[in-house]
Chain A
């Protein structure tokens, strides 16, 4: 991984590009999709610990009835920040980490379409997260729930909900430009021969997710601006005294919010669709159905939003329409479960940690999906909504589904990213602790909800039947925490090992395993020509006349040796300007709260970053 040489006539001064591609400071100027993926992953994991700590405090408060451990105001901040953190600062960026690292590798490309835009996305995401968290120090964290319903969120006197608008808007900008970047990469930069239906399912899910992001984020951005303007500029978007409707926010928020949940789960579905075939030693069952159901979910997902609003009095016709669309979306979602079962059926199943987590995703998502079906029974939802039954549902799909899936991805792709395998015994301990802890935490919440425990309450009275299950749930939460500690021990321990993982430790099927572990900066020495789905598998195995699978003779060295070791490959060079441009965003945001002069400074910094970006020379000339 040598530094890229810079030609002698490079301009001095502001437009001189950085040269280092290794070392601590190179992380601030990198445009390598793999390093950016690692940045996303590491940052998201830190936020996971913070969001998890918030959850533990919530569970401590709820362990006993009529507890006064945490006051009501702080409690509102805790569950708001827990939700915001887990959705926007953990699951989304963890998915982005995997997409960033793997998309070019899996499609046989050397980088994403716009490497500096990629770096900008990461720094803008970080800025959004830090601005959101700075609220704790600057007058109070957001306390209106992650869904921020006005008028409560527009009229609350603490500045928290303004930080909410600003932080999420920045994170939204990050995700929107990243979505455009990754969508163009997938559509336009596939290796020769990789038609759309030879792409891995993980890539297909990634493509659907980028479109969902690109089309849903603008809607919430508008809503966030309207919220911010109601709070800071006296507009009337959600002001009932001026004729405004609080329901406008709900419609706009959920028009984003529902596609958002598919954004959160489809990456995990993609990971499961890669992991199960590898450890069952047979292909994904029904590739086309899985792909089409993912696309169908993407489309139908824009038509179900008001199922979050059944109790708001929209009327029986609207409730029926959204009830039916919600029932319909269960079909493409459920189909995948059967396809995954078909993948395992008659396979040769090896229960590595990656496989265990993938199976965990499927089994836990079934539960979450079924409780979701009960939600789609609209009148039943009149009882379930805003109770712990909903909390159970979404944790089963988001934690049981998305987080388990992401951990499967960690175990599966760890050797590719870091050149070392994670320890399997620690992995299995982690899995079982997490599985047990997770079900102990969220299983009882179904019961609590049906017994009438509402959401977002800091405590509950004795004698309502809530005591036992809340205590069990808290014990489960600490069990989950223990499992995370096991994972961290495993991760840190892996770095003490030698970097000797093979290119293809799992005998896998897709292109990322055709290069070294970790890959060189240019990903592949030779641009691969793809002849089929599961290209790598078909290079290793063929079927003989009787249909039995036999290994292929190891091929001769490729004729074209010109690019071995990366010679003659042009890679985009590092740059300061994505970071500079991203720095402008929080300045603009803080200026809204503390003085327009600061916003102007921020705009200047942003523009300077963008101009530098546009004007800087290309860094490499072979």
Chain B
């Protein structure tokens, strides 16, 4: 009876894992790596997982067998032989797991150093800044800059060329350092299918390398509690073919057209206090850079799709859309919102 239950449980567990690996709707699935830095982890995890599964089956199977075989049967009153131990057996079952674990340790250490190695020379350099509660991306390579030592700055979506390593420098931004609106706290940049996560720690600079083998969209999230809207601090890595990436870079380097009318007034009087729109205002950059906001798929920490309706809803009352948002409710009229949305939609 218990044997059948075991087989059923094991079968279900295996099926679940298999299903999970094949799920089509699992865009952050670490078991489906999409680049070498994630693949190296997967190549290490999968064999260890199977070893663990084998141990699980052996040990739990052994326990279940013992429970069945030596269960008390009515009418057989006995006190079994009082065995105290078996030193040789105990030494053996101490050494055997140690040997198996040593076998696990060797590729583990090798992979630790492999992943920590300097990236190849052709790596694209991007500085990632974690804010409360959105991600900023700064392309610092000379060929990516938009002016004299001015990096190209975007938010929410990290656009990268496919099949090329991207070396990330991770920083935490906040009002303490004058480069953000919120508090500088710990975040964790977690691109799942492209690499393991690395924490973003105020006062410390961390690094990691990611790479997407194929063009595509690879979502990620913040993975370290960072305040109210930690759960709403998402991002997307967009890998483009080399040609598409060059086109994207060229488009991003262009300045924005100047706004007019209501939108122009609002941007000058209010938005520019925090947002940069290159060509219009670069007075402050503690909030997401809006120069090409319409070229992005998502808004506000990548939790809303970038549509007219969502943009308007955001402008109507940001803290209601995202708890703790440092963009206050400016009590904009519907006319003002219309005008702003019209303008922002032109910022491709």
Contacts of B48 in A (CB 8 A): 373-374, 377, 380
A442 to chain B, nearest CB (A): 13
- Is there a chain A Cβ closer than 8 Å to B306's Cβ? no
Within 8 A of B (CB), among A141-186: 144-145, 149, 151-152, 155-156
B105 to chain A, nearest CB (A): 5
Name the one of A71, A75, A316, A362 contacting B116, with C-beta atoms under 8 angstroms.
Answer: A316
Contacts of A380 in B (CB 8 A): 41, 44-45, 48
Q: Is the CB of B231 within 8 A of A458?
A: yes
A461 to chain B, nearest CB (A): 8
The residue in A312, A313, A363, A452 that gathers the most chain B C-beta atoms within 10 A of its C-beta is: A452
Given A349-B67, A451-B31, A457 and B198 touching (CB < 8 A)?
A: no
How long is the Cα–Cα vector from A405 to B54 in the complex, in angstroms? 25
Contacts of A547 in B (CB 8 A): 81
Q: Is the CB of B30 within 8 A of A72?
A: no
Given A334-B97, A348-B72, A351-B71, A386 and B66 touching (CB < 8 A)?
A: no
B298 to chain A, nearest CB (A): 11
How long is the Cα–Cα vector from A281 to B94 in the complex, in angstroms? 25
Q: Is the CB of A247 within 8 A of B230?
A: no
- Is there a chain A Cβ closer than 8 Å to B26's Cβ? yes
How long is the Cα–Cα vector from A311 to B86 in the complex, in angstroms? 42
- Is there a chain B Cβ closer than 8 Å to A130's Cβ? no
Contacts of B4 in A (CB 8 A): none
- Is there a chain A Cβ closer than 8 Å to B196's Cβ? yes
How long is the Cα–Cα vector from A312 to B196 in the complex, in angstroms? 12
- Is there a chain B Cβ closer than 8 Å to A366's Cβ? yes
- Is there a chain A Cβ closer than 8 Å to B250's Cβ? no
Given A344-B70, A374-B48, A382-B196, A319 and B112 touching (CB < 8 A)?
A: yes
Contacts of B225 in A (CB 8 A): 76, 144-145, 149, 152, 455-456
Name the one of A241, A280, A465 contacting B26, with C-beta atoms under 8 angstroms.
Answer: A465
How long is the Cα–Cα vector from A335 to B111 in the complex, in angstroms? 28
- Is there a chain A Cβ closer than 8 Å to B330's Cβ? no
- Is there a chain B Cβ closer than 8 Å to A289's Cβ? yes
B123 to chain A, nearest CB (A): 18
Q: Is the CB of B67 within 8 A of A359?
A: yes
The residue in B40, B49, B224 that gathers the most chain A C-beta atoms within 10 A of its C-beta is: B224
Given A330-B97, A359-B63, A367-B56, A464 and B28 touching (CB < 8 A)?
A: yes
Given A76-B228, A243-B203, A286 and B85 touching (CB < 8 A)?
A: yes
B82 to chain A, nearest CB (A): 5
Name the one of A362, A383, A447 contacting B192, with C-beta atoms under 8 angstroms.
Answer: A383
B 201-214 binary contact with A (CB < 8 Å = 1; else 0):
11110110000000
Contacts of A13 in B (CB 8 A): none
Q: Is the CB of A456 within 8 A of B79?
A: no
Q: Is the CB of B227 within 8 A of A156?
A: yes
Q: Is the CB of B204 within 8 A of A386?
A: no
Given A76-B225, A281-B80, A323-B109, A288 and B72 touching (CB < 8 A)?
A: no
Q: Is the CB of B56 within 8 A of A320?
A: no
B104 to chain A, nearest CB (A): 6
Q: Is the CB of A282 within 8 A of B81?
A: yes
Q: Is the CB of A151 within 8 A of B202?
A: yes
B 44-87 binary contact with A (CB < 8 Å = 1; else 0):
11001100100110011011001100111000101111111110
- Is there a chain A Cβ closer than 8 Å to B184's Cβ? yes
Chain A residue at minimal CB-CB distance from B172:
A240
A 94-134 binary contact with B (CB < 8 Å = 1; else 0):
00000000000000000000000000000000000000000
- Is there a chain B Cβ closer than 8 Å to A300's Cβ? no
How long is the Cα–Cα vector from A327 to B85 in the complex, in angstroms? 26
Q: Is the CB of A240 within 8 A of B31?
A: no
Contacts of A244 in B (CB 8 A): 203
The residue in B17, B84, B225 that gathers the most chain A C-beta atoms within 10 A of its C-beta is: B225
Q: Is the CB of A72 within 8 A of B201?
A: no
Q: Is the CB of A450 within 8 A of B111?
A: no
- What is the total number of residues of chain A having a CB less than 8 Å from a CB of chain B? 98
Contacts of B109 in A (CB 8 A): 320, 323-324
How long is the Cα–Cα vector from A387 to B221 in the complex, in angstroms? 11
B 191-202 binary contact with A (CB < 8 Å = 1; else 0):
011011111011
- Is there a chain B Cβ closer than 8 Å to A338's Cβ? yes
Contacts of B192 in A (CB 8 A): 383, 452
A 361-397 binary contact with B (CB < 8 Å = 1; else 0):
0110011001101101111111101110000000000
Q: Is the CB of B26 within 8 A of A311?
A: no
Name the one of B30, B76, B112, B195 contacting A451, with C-beta atoms under 8 angstroms.
Answer: B30
The residue in B86, B115, B196 that gathers the most chain A C-beta atoms within 10 A of its C-beta is: B196
Q: Is the CB of B66 within 8 A of A366?
A: no
Contacts of B97 in A (CB 8 A): 330-331, 334-335
Q: Is the CB of B26 within 8 A of A452?
A: yes
B52 to chain A, nearest CB (A): 4
Main secondary structure of the interface of B (DSSP, over half): mixed
How long is the Cα–Cα vector from A455 to B115 in the complex, in angstroms? 24
Q: Is the CB of B115 within 8 A of A379?
A: yes
How long is the Cα–Cα vector from A466 to B298 in the complex, in angstroms? 20
Q: Is the CB of A386 within 8 A of B197?
A: yes
- Is there a chain B Cβ closer than 8 Å to A459's Cβ? yes
How long is the Cα–Cα vector from A330 to B113 in the complex, in angstroms? 23
Contacts of A543 in B (CB 8 A): 82
Contacts of B83 in A (CB 8 A): 282-283, 285, 342, 346
B 243-283 binary contact with A (CB < 8 Å = 1; else 0):
00000000000000000000000000000000000000000
Q: Is the CB of A374 within 8 A of B85?
A: no
Q: Is the CB of A313 within 8 A of B206?
A: yes
- Is there a chain A Cβ closer than 8 Å to B186's Cβ? yes
Q: Is the CB of B93 within 8 A of A335?
A: yes
Contacts of A374 in B (CB 8 A): 45, 48-49, 52
- Is there a chain A Cβ closer than 8 Å to B29's Cβ? yes
A 324-351 binary contact with B (CB < 8 Å = 1; else 0):
1001101100110111011011111111
Name the one of B23, B52, B232 contacting A370, with C-beta atoms under 8 angstroms.
Answer: B52
Q: Is the CB of A311 within 8 A of B188?
A: yes
Contacts of A196 in B (CB 8 A): none
Q: Is the CB of B82 within 8 A of A377?
A: no
Q: Is the CB of A454 within 8 A of B221?
A: yes
- Is there a chain A Cβ closer than 8 Å to B25's Cβ? yes
- Is there a chain B Cβ closer than 8 Å to A299's Cβ? no
- Is there a chain A Cβ closer than 8 Å to B223's Cβ? yes
Q: Is the CB of B203 within 8 A of A240?
A: yes
Q: Is the CB of B231 within 8 A of A451?
A: no
Name the one of B29, B79, B85, B177 contacting A241, with C-beta atoms under 8 angstroms.
Answer: B177
How long is the Cα–Cα vector from A348 to B79 in the complex, in angstroms? 7
How long is the Cα–Cα vector from A541 to B81 in the complex, in angstroms? 12
Residues of B within 8 A of A (CB): 13, 16-17, 20, 23, 25-31, 38, 40-41, 44-45, 48-49, 52, 55-56, 59-60, 62-63, 66-67, 70-72, 76, 78-86, 89-90, 93-94, 97-98, 101, 104-105, 108-109, 111-113, 115-116, 170, 172, 176-177, 183-186, 188, 190, 192-193, 195-199, 201-204, 206-207, 219, 221-232, 303, 323-324
23 A–B contact pairs at CB < 8 A? A73-B324, A151-B202, A152-B226, A240-B184, A244-B203, A245-B203, A247-B204, A282-B80, A282-B82, A311-B196, A311-B197, A313-B170, A313-B199, A335-B93, A339-B85, A349-B70, A379-B40, A383-B196, A386-B197, A387-B223, A451-B26, A452-B29, A465-B29
Given A286-B86, A383-B196, A464-B26, 15 further pairs, Cβ under 8 A: A72-B232, A73-B228, A281-B80, A287-B85, A311-B196, A316-B115, A344-B66, A347-B70, A363-B63, A373-B101, A378-B111, A382-B197, A452-B30, A464-B27, A549-B79
The 6 closest A-B pairs by CB, nearest first: A382-B196, A452-B28, A457-B231, A240-B203, A465-B26, A313-B206
